């Protein structure tokens, strides 16, 4: 067993099943690009070429890739008919519920899956500022955005925690750097949290990012905070501080997939009771990346 996960024995439901799920390879999911192709047309074209796809109940645009060849090696991928994206990675944009006319900020946007999803959900009719600090990762974001035909994304390269306070946003997606425990499945490198200090170091950055994001959010605006880690230090503990301080309130989320509620207690520390309305996704409950998602509203 990966040692880093032992400390979650008491908080992850059916822990033996969780450990078993880690031994199974991660499935590949994709999201079709509604700008370029209709669902039925896509299914038909891929079947004709001999690619195997399975529908995902609950998200019409999502499919599970079941062919042995790589999902990037098709003409349809080249033409931007779909984007390869983990199933749970599709949830933050859906939960944010962006609307045409909104001003949106994806604060740590690279490599671009969630930002391009926001553009798709708003049909290129909402301004999306997609920010990231890493030059190389911005290059990947731009490549995906260009391939998918996105015209509503403006790309910036600031440190998120010092993003300029020159515009307020209706909705913000914050998917900060994290220890990425949720991406660990068989064959992958052990999670960064083999060193327990990693989560505490990341927590400081995550708190700074969240504070700046809330400053950038208009009163009454919505913020979705997500990570691909199980570490409570990087999830509930980060959100607890802003909820306790009245800077934001947790909003219930509705996702048609199984998940566990956010934690109210961890390692002797109590969290604000509303944090149980956050969602923890585990690979034995939903066969995808492990994920944490919370939806926050800034008081009006």
| Residues assigned a catalytic role | 228
Asked if 190 touches another protein (CB under 8 A), the answer is: no
Q: Which is nearer to another protein, 15 or 35 (CB)?
A: 35
Question: CB of 45: closest distance to another protein in angstroms?
Answer: 9
* Burial zone of 287 (CB within 10 Å; 0-12 exposed, 13-18 middle, 19+ buried): middle
Residue with tokens 């220890």: 179
Backbone angles phi, psi at 135, to 5 degrees: -55, -50
Smallest gap from Cβ 36 to another protein, in A, equals 8
Q: For residues 223 and 214, is the Cβ–Cβ distance under 8 A?
A: yes
Establish if 127 lies at the interface with another protein (CB under 8 A).
yes
CA distance 185 to 251: 30
Question: Shortest distance, CB of residue 221 to another protein, whole angstroms?
Answer: 14
Q: Are 15 and 9 in contact (CB under 8 A)?
A: yes
Answer for which of 149, 241, 255, 264 binds another protein (CB under 8 A) is 149
On whether the CB atoms of residues 142 and 151 are closer than 8 A, the answer is no
Q: Which 3 state secondary structure label does DSSP give 57?
A: coil
Question: x/- binding map, residues 52-71, to another protein, per CB under 8 A?
Answer: ------------------xx
Is 260 a binding residue for another protein by CB under 8 A? The answer is no
Q: Which residues bind another protein (CB under 8 A)?
A: 28, 36, 70-75, 77-80, 83-86, 89, 101, 103, 111-113, 124-127, 129, 138, 140, 142-143, 145-147, 149-158, 164, 166-167, 180, 182-183, 228, 289
């Amino acid at each position: 067993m990966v040692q880093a996960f032992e400390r979650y024995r008491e908080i992850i439901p059916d822990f033996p099943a969780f450990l078993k799920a880690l031994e199974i390879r991660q499935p590949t999911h994709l999201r079709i690009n509604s700008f370029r192709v209709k669902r039925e047309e896509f299914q038909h074209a891929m079947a004709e070429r001999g690619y195997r796809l399975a529908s995902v109940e609950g998200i019409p645009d999502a499919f599970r890739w079941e062919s042995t060849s790589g999902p990037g090696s098709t003409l349809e991928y080249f033409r931007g008919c779909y984007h390869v994206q983990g199933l749970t990675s599709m949830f933050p944009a859906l939960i944010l519920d962006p609307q045409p006319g909104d001003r949106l900020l994806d604060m740590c946007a690279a490599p671009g899956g969630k930002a391009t999803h926001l553009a798709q959900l708003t049909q290129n009719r909402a301004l999306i500022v997609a920010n990231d600090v890493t030059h190389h990762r911005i290059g990947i974001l731009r490549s995906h955005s260009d391939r998918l035909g996105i015209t509503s994304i403006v790309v910036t390269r600031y440190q998120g925690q010092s993003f300029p306070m020159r515009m307020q946003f209706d909705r913000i997606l914050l998917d900060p750097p994290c220890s990425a425990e949720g991406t660990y499945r068989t064959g992958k490198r052990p999670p960064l949290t083999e060193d327990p200090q990693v989560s505490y170091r990341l927590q400081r950055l995550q708190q700074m990012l969240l504070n700046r994001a809330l400053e950038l959010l208009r009163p009454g605006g919505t913020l979705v905070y997500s990570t691909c880690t199980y570490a409570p230090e990087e999830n509930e503990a980060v959100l607890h501080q802003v909820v306790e301080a009245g800077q934001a309130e947790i909003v219930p989320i509705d996702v048609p997939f199984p998940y566990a509620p956010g934690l109210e207690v961890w390692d002797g520390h109590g969290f604000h009771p509303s944090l149980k309305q956050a969602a923890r996704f585990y690979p034995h409950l939903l066969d995808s990346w492990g994920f944490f998602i919370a939806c926050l509203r800034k008081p009006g």
